[in-house]
Structure 1
Amino acid sequence: MTIRYDGKVAIVTGAGQGLGRCHAIELAKRGAKVVVNDLGSSKDGTGGSSDAAHAVVAEIEAAGGEAIANGANVAKEEEVKAMVAQAMDQWGRIDILVNNAGILRDKSFSKGSMEDFRLVVDVHLMGTVYCTKAVWDIMKEQEYGRIVVTTSSSGLYGNFGQTNYGAAKMGVVGLMNTLVQEGAKYNIRVNALAPTAGTRMTEGLMPEKAFELLTPETVTPAVLYLVSEDAPTHTILAAGAGSFAVARIVESDGLWLSPEEQTPEGIAAHWDAIAASDGERALKAGFEQTGKMIGKAAEGLGIKLD
């Protein structure tokens, strides 16, 4: 069955070029009305022009789709609220939010400034928070919403020179984890995209032949799936060069230690068993960890929990 978005309204941030542009165009091709948001800044977040967003809108309209341009800075809450109001005035609903806007200020932790760190977190993490907050109650009232946050392998696994970016990109995963729980009964599904693409943010960081494989077009299908009617929720979907994988945060089964062994020395002595991968699993909510720990303690102490 073909996945379409007829009658749906989507907001895509950072949609003037690269991944965001591709996401917006493909959503429109499949019937969505699209808010093409782009501040028009350079990759470090400086400057600004609405030309890129308007060019994408023109491209969508030339293909028979519907779109409007918006130049909000996602790191400014009032501008984000105005963007959402524009979409509601134009189309009366918002079904899909793709949080894609981002900047880079790469430097090693010792050389990077706190100003740059704060700016990157403001755009990637707080920008995602502001956009999601602005559409959340609308989606709750509709009892329908599909939200994608954009994480990164830099956040999930680390990347030299990107403490600011990595911290922000892991932050959006934490945001997703709880939004999934709060949005479930309202049919709001929230997922994370971990893209690898050859865009202006990655240009010059890899051999040209590898760069050419990493087109935005090989990543966008992941977004299209994550915002579809039958999308999963609470999923980190990695995508790049036509390959797709699911990333999971797992916890080892762990080991209960007797009161006498509940010391740093006891942990050291049993480290291999504590860290063993046998039985590790992805937990669905924070309380599952609490329940597991209490269960192991009760078993070890031979007490029954009512």
Structure 2
Amino acid sequence: MAGILEGRVAIVTGAGRGLGREHALELARHGAKVVVNDLGTSLDGDGVSHGPAAEVVEIIRAAGGEAVANGADIANFAQARGLIDQAIAEFGRLDILVNNAGFVRDRMLVNAEEDEWNAVLRVHLGGHFATLRHAAAYWRAEAKEGRQPDARVINTSSGAGLQGSVGQAAYSAAKGGIASLTLVAAQELGRYGVTVNAIAPSARTRMTEGPFSTAMAAPEEGFDRMNPANVSPIVAWLASPEASDVTGRVIEIEGGRVCVEEGWRHGPSRDLGRRWDVAEVGGHVRELLAEAAVPEAVYGA
């Protein structure tokens, strides 16, 4: 399937390391021109380094591809616009936005500080919003000028956002918000020729080295299920013209396993046609709970 992204222009955020690095390399391998965004922060979001993004750019260029580095803080609204503008200025267009950047500051809820909560939501949820907002404005303008886009957005949620994760209240809340943002954006941007999907990857990265390192350490029968490169082919396909009819979906990926998440759905219900009396709530709700599907287990529970 080499060349499925030929001539297309992509932005990948947080592309200096881990999943983002593998996404950028995979997109370039299939012909995309890539803007490699990375602020180069530490695992908890401190510091700045342009080295990781520059290294990925050099790898792509050495293989015959086209890429440029970008060091924007994607959670900064103005800098996020600059990222979108750079792609258009460098390569003449934008077709693909892969929102991947993020960091963690894990705490049990009773120990969490306000600044930690705000920092995690800022980079994950805020960063997704800022880049998506400016890219959407560009694609809408293109559509209004008669140049209908065939564009793709791939957001990054997480099993923590879908099922919850003990010790990761802020991260789980942000990733759950990204899944909901994906659903809304898919509906709003479809008229402009844009699909919006999200992935929920499980892979060995800096963010999973702590509590999950033992489970993720050893390859199984010669196949390293937790290699982040396993996730990127699904990203490349979602970014391709072939996926033009897929939108508003969240896809979980672990090793060779791909799962389409079903998310919140209306389950059993009861309508009295009148105001409820508190004395009758318990019996009815317990009957509905008995009919409903059992919730997925929270990670770490």
Query: Shorter chain as normaliser: what TM range?
Result: 0.7 to 0.9
In the other structure, the counterpart of 1:161 is 167
Q: Where does structure 1 lack aligned partners over 5 or more consecutive residues? A: 279-306
In the other structure, the counterpart of 1:61 is 61
Aligned positions of 1:212-231 closer than 5 A: 212=218, 213-231=225-243
For 1:209 and 1:263, how far apart are their aligned partners in 2? 49
Partner amino acid, structure 2, of 1:55:
E
What SS does the corresponding residue of 2:115 show, helix, strand or coil?
helix
Q: Where does structure 2 lack aligned partners over 5 or more consecutive residues? A: 143-147, 219-224, 294-301
What SS does the corresponding residue of 1:270 show, helix, strand or coil?
helix
In the other structure, the counterpart of 2:288 is 274
Deviation at 1:243, TM superposition (A): 1.0
Deviation at 1:82, TM superposition (A): 1.3
Deviation at 1:274, TM superposition (A): 3.0
For 1:274 and 1:208, how far apart are their aligned partners in 2? 39
In the other structure, the counterpart of 1:78 is 78
For 1:89 and 1:45, how far apart are their aligned partners in 2? 28
Partner deviation per Cα, 1:233-266 (whole Å, 9 max, x = no partner): 0111000122110111222041212437x23333
Q: Is 1:52 the equivalent of 2:52?
A: yes
Q: How many residues align?
A: 277
What SS does the corresponding residue of 1:52 show, helix, strand or coil?
helix
2:154 to 130, 148, 152: 148
Compared CA separation, residues 266 and 229, structure 1 to 2 (3 A)? farther
What SS does the corresponding residue of 1:165 show, helix, strand or coil?
helix
Partner deviation per Cα, 1:16-58 (whole Å, 9 max, x = no partner): 0100000000000000000000000111000111010000000
Deviation at 1:218, TM superposition (A): 1.2
Instruction: Tell me which structure has the larger Cα radius of gyration.
Output: 1
Partner amino acid, structure 1, of 2:271:
W
In the other structure, the counterpart of 2:269 is 254
Deviation at 1:211, TM superposition (A): 2.9
Percent of residue pairs bearing the same amino acid type: 40
In the other structure, the counterpart of 1:303 is none
For 1:119 and 1:207, how far apart are their aligned partners in 2? 24
Deviation at 1:83, TM superposition (A): 1.5
In the other structure, the counterpart of 1:287 is none
What SS does the corresponding residue of 1:221 show, helix, strand or coil?
helix
* TM-score of the two chains, using structure 1 as the length reference: 0.86
Aligned partners of 1:8 and 1:95 also within 8 Å: yes
Deviation at 1:2, TM superposition (A): 5.8
For 2:206 and 2:181, how far apart are their aligned partners in 1? 27
